Structure 1
């Protein structure tokens, strides 16, 4: 009698014993999947640098990041496979299968993109984090757009008109937000080309200061006066940028004039003394020192040398020492300057 009841009783045209079999299979599958996830998650957390290559670690992290809800849905779908359902129900479950697989694969790929970019940024600290963030957002946006379109197409939605409307809408949004998008792409350009980085001292037009932060839309500069200057990324890249942080040395060219009264031998000694003075100064490389011309005020000399440092304060200390040395040399010879000051010209001079 009981056996006949099990065989004859149905729920939604499916025998009760078949339902019990599907439920039992669902529970067993869910237990196996959660145990496997817990094992893999423990391996990934306890051994983040375990051997096996980058792709293997990405795969393990993707599996370990699978949610319990996704595992439960997968277990139910596998259990339902054991039911003898009508054809209409089977078609619906097939669609659910496709949706579940696409969404889970999209979640795995999204996690893999995040993990891969984080690892790449950790190995390349010189890269701009903003650029990596933008690339990650763009890649995930494309991924989820493809996933949603695939699901809609599987459900019978005509995505051709949908994609066309998205294209028209995208053009309208791009025209409305062209200034923001221009700064956004300029930020990507700064991150990839790296004309400057946080900490670099730059001169752009009338602005001189250190880069504090490169954002999605603007770059913040701390000026010599102490105030913060905010510049649009697009406008910043339109101008010529002088980056002094990457300067290995400074070329210094300066002139001074000695009043008439010195003989030819004294004029030659002055040039030789300047040469010896620069060569004896640490952190410099002498280039030349010549009697350039006879000016209205006296004998005009031109001197060129290099400071082997990008530090501006170091350059000023060296130039001061050279200036004082020249003054002493003239005093010892009883000569005077033809003008009150020494004219200094440095190519690319900046504070």
Structure 2
């Protein structure tokens, strides 16, 4: 420094500092920047070696945080260190200080974003996406909200340190936000409905649901709409707000299916066979795999039939399995009734006509089922 002071042209004054002081500040800046980069690289290398020897993911996260240190942060930090050897006016010092604070806040925002992603990825890996189809969807939505809140806070802090009246800004944004909310209330309604779907999980991707008279498999759940692939192949797009207004049936979460089977036999069926029918049907139902028999009864007297009601459970929610079992039981009942000579009833009218001589004529009129 004394040697530099002996050189005349270095004594020229610029912004209250000599060329010699500016030269020293430049050297301090370069040394600080190089030293910080070297320190970053050394710490990353050391921690990477330690992280490879442990099973925890915390040290891996620490390495990623160090690797995520931005170049602008090191430059501005080095600039702030270099200005310490200068005699700058208060206004210039305040600018350097503000830049340093902004750099720290922006770097903190990147670190905060990385921390949110780390927590979300850990939650997803702990839950297991294979066992919870809504985990990815939920974590992404929560992560988006968390990052948005973080950056809003960081921007407000930056504005506050830059001399902006944040209180007045927040108040004006609140008034403007009300106006915007009224203008886009339908979009906001769908957005909040999306958050409700994410948090409450009435259904997740892959579930087979029915909404009103429409049914299909959930393919996508977004911030605005939910998309369902119908059985006939087309894609049905529901507004999130609309889909929550109606009743939703989620067949993916069905553990077993209750089946009620009803049929009628003719009034001419002998009493002993009527009494034996529940036992016949029970054997037919229990002969099927994945079924649990509940009851079979003569339920009542119809206009043209003795009505039976059978209740059993299919222990598999798959619809094709249910239909296969239902078909096997129906065929079994038809086979047993044919062997026992029991007739199924169909709508019949019997007319009794008394003649002039007192004789009674009987006429029967049969109608096909469903006519």
TM-score (norm 1): 0.87
Range 171-180 or range 290-299, more displaced = 290-299
Whether contact under 8 Å (2:220, 2:228) holds in the other structure is yes
Match of 2:322 among 299, 315, 327: 315
After superposition, residues 1-351 of structure 1 pair within 5 angstroms as: 3-5=5-7, 8-41=11-44, 51=54, 57-124=60-127, 125=129, 126=132, 127-339=134-346
C-alpha displacement of 1:170: 1.1
1:126-165 per-residue CA deviation (whole Å, 9 max, x = no partner) reads 2354443333333223222222222322233222221111
Structure 2: gaps (5+ residues): 348-367
C-alpha displacement of 1:252: 0.6
Whether contact under 8 Å (1:131, 1:187) holds in the other structure is no
Select the structure of larger CA radius of gyration: 2
Range 307-316 or range 297-306, more displaced = 297-306
Whether contact under 8 Å (2:225, 2:237) holds in the other structure is yes
SS of the residue aligned with 1:208? Answer: strand
Higher relative contact order (CA 8 A, sep 6+): 1
Q: Distance in 2 between matches of 1:321 and 1:38?
A: 72
Alpha-carbon spacing, 1:258–1:167, altered in 2? closer, same or farther (3 Å): same
Q: Distance in 1 between matches of 2:77 and 2:118?
A: 24
Alignment coverage as a number of residue pairs: 343
Structure 1: gaps (5+ residues): 344-351
SS of the residue aligned with 1:305? Answer: strand
SS of the residue aligned with 2:262? Answer: strand
Instruction: Provide the alpha-carbon RMSD of the alignment.
Output: 2.8
SS of the residue aligned with 1:288? Answer: strand
TM-score (norm 2): 0.83
Whether contact under 8 Å (1:291, 1:300) holds in the other structure is yes
Whether contact under 8 Å (2:48, 2:60) holds in the other structure is no
Alpha-carbon spacing, 1:32–1:172, altered in 2? closer, same or farther (3 Å): same
